[in-house]
Chains A and B, each alone.
Chain A
């Protein structure tokens, strides 16, 4: 009987298609991934079973356990427009082109307009200290800067959308949404204060950021600032 020949060299497998596929997927995930901005405060949202995703075009107010409010809005061009609107509203805040550029790339912030320029210029560790000592964006009735940010944010968004050629009907379907991300242990009174600011501006519909119940990871809102 002929002996079965066992090849002596190691069996080799052509891995090229697998590598192709793996790198294709890596490239895809790398390109679709969004970079998350550093968040100045810690706010772990409560859990819920809601599966609705946070909308893409969103104005996000973050509230921490101390009731400090922080502002964020998606879209770089929107942010640029928003800042120039705010500068004409608050003449005490004057920023140069470079500062405007870094503002449009920045994520959530919680500084009164008087300190915003200083905050943008500051180094990371100084920023951290400013956030720690800061009181968030003022929202009391005498100095309602949060209200101004919300209002001008809306106008800046509409202006930007009109430039992009979106019609009013499209905006109704796919317009700016308002989200509130509050720490689970925040006192409800402090959230109501922010909601009251919105209500003054005739905004009644909110998305409360939550993490999915059952997952240990607390989800973070990542806003696209491209």
Chain B
């Protein structure tokens, strides 16, 4: 449908051919359509393919018992990730095989995040203040980073131990780390689950019937 609109032209009186005076105009609509189609494609393709990454730092192997960081048990929360993706439990303090009650949780916004935001209240408060200061240009980025590290690494800040079994799903580990990032819990570790804890997880899971959809829904509604 591209058409060339010609104004006048043709031979003149003397039979001589002269260049046309008016400019040739081309209908550019299809070309524009095509250009924008390509543009849309590249814009969408470019933004969707960007992979994201989450940084995790693993500790060096510590041989000497003395080198291990001593942490106050009262600040500890342990997250137990079982074989099945629904098996997410936590307890606070020290694990006692006969008295510790494993509480079911999940990675929704009312799950583990709510618990940790409450526990980490003091730290989060300070972090928010720092963020406000950064936004109002009271402090600059490096100062903020330094202060942030101080706040989240404080001795009184709660810490979380994520314990896994061999068959724990990778997404549960990443989800846990994600929640901890959201809650500004920087003192954390990933460890293998002790046998006593693994047994407790299996028992509790069987009790609540977590592996079936129905059992999980029921247990979740009770939270």
Contacts and interface: CB of A to CB of B under 8 A. Distances in A.
A68 to B, nearest CB: 14
B51 A188 contact: no
Interface in B144-183: 164-175, 177-178, 181-182
A222 B43 CA distance: 16
B52 A51 contact: yes
A222 B28 CA distance: 36
A22 interface: yes
A217 B48 CA distance: 7
A213 B52 CA distance: 10
B46 A33 contact: yes
A205 interface: yes
B51 A48 contact: no
A131 interface: no
B194 interface: no
A188 B60 CA distance: 19
B184 to A, nearest CB: 13
A223 to B, nearest CB: 10
A208 B57 contact: no
A191 B28 contact: no
A18 interface: yes
Contact of B45 (A26, A33, A53): A33
B1 interface: no
A181 to B, nearest CB: 8
B189 interface: no
A226 B210 CA distance: 49
B170 A185 contact: yes
B35 A50 contact: no
A186 B177 CA distance: 16
A29 B35 CA distance: 12
Interface residues of A, number: 55
B168 to A, nearest CB: 4
A212 B178 CA distance: 11
Given A19-B32, A25-B39, A54-B52, A204 B170 contact: no
Contacts of B48: 215, 217, 219
Contact of A48 (B25, B167, B174): B174
A48 B170 contact: no
Contact of A19 (B35, B172, B177): B35
Contacts of A199: 58, 60-61
Given A49-B182, A188-B166, A188-B168, A207 B54 contact: yes
A150 to B, nearest CB: 15
B167 to A, nearest CB: 5
A221 B42 CA distance: 17
Contacts of B49: 36, 219-220, 222
B36 interface: yes
Contact of A22 (B25, B36, B50): B36
Contacts of B58: 195, 199, 204-206
Given A186-B169, A187-B169, A29 B46 contact: yes
A186 B52 contact: no
B141 to A, nearest CB: 15
B38 interface: yes
B29 interface: yes
Contacts of B56: 205-208
A221 B55 CA distance: 15
Contacts of B50: 53-54, 219
Nearest to B45: A33
A134 B27 CA distance: 56
A46 B174 contact: yes
A66 B53 CA distance: 22
A207 B178 contact: no
Contacts of A184: 169-171, 174
B31 interface: yes
12 contacts: A19-B31, A22-B32, A26-B42, A33-B45, A51-B52, A179-B53, A204-B58, A210-B174, A213-B178, A219-B48, A219-B52, A220-B51
Interface of A: 12, 15-16, 18-19, 22-23, 25-26, 29-30, 32-33, 36, 45-55, 179, 181-189, 191, 195, 199, 202, 204-213, 215, 217, 219-222
